[in-house]
Amino acid sequence: MSDVVVVDYGAGNTRSVRAALTHLGVSSVVSSDPTKISESELVILPGVGSARSAMDHLESTGAAQALRNRFEKGAPILGICLGMQLALEHSDEDGGVDGIGLLSGSVHLLTEGRVPRLGWAMVEPWGDAFYFAHSYAATCPDSVATSEGVTVAVERGAFLGVQFHPEKSGSAGLAFLERCLSPV
């Protein structure tokens, strides 16, 4: 298979995602090049940083449009944390930011419990605990998993987005990534 493209949006930690892929025997490149994004068999939109600077970077490099085209063609994209949130239409973060808009829905500040929501929590109906570190959460009609009442996975067409960090979720996270890689 071709290298997995881990989308670069100018800030943040792509090293851990790549290390997890390496652990699974999959090579990857970090890039915001639209050609690479459209040609790769799997694209991962990772998640650290702020929504506004990430969107500015994705739009200015053409990566956002490449992701929209890719989604239209039904080519797989995995969004992680902020990467999942950016795939929706709008986020309240940074005073309000338009997302890539692959899926309907929006992102709001968490109001329940301690925020940021940090730590391991069970994801249902999957039955595994994954690691979370987020202050914002998605409201989306394409929710496919929840954790403590929060939407933590969304799926539509070839896009799967998760709020947790599979690359930081030990063996459960690696098993999840392996399942994402299996159709590739």
The residue (of 11 and 184) whose beta carbon lies closer to other proteins is 11
The yes-or-no answer on residue 167 being catalytic is yes
Q: Is 90 a catalytic residue?
A: no
48 token code pair: 């650290």
Helix, strand, coil percentages (3-state) for the chain, rounded to 5, are 35, 30, 35
- Looking at the Cβ atoms of 132 and 159, the one nearer to other proteins is 132
Q: Name the residue nearer to other proteins (CB basis): 71 or 136.
A: 136
Q: Are 63 and 69 in contact (CB under 8 A)?
A: no
Q: Which of 108, 112, 167, 178 is catalytic?
A: 167
CA separation, residue 40 to residues 2, 10, 32, 101, 122 (Å) = 6, 20, 12, 20, 32
- Site residues for other proteins per CB under 8 A: 11-13, 15-16, 19-20, 22-23, 48-50, 53, 82, 113-122, 128-129, 131-135, 148, 165, 167-171, 173-174
Asked if 165 is an active-site residue, the reply is yes
Catalytic residue positions, numbered: 81, 165, 167
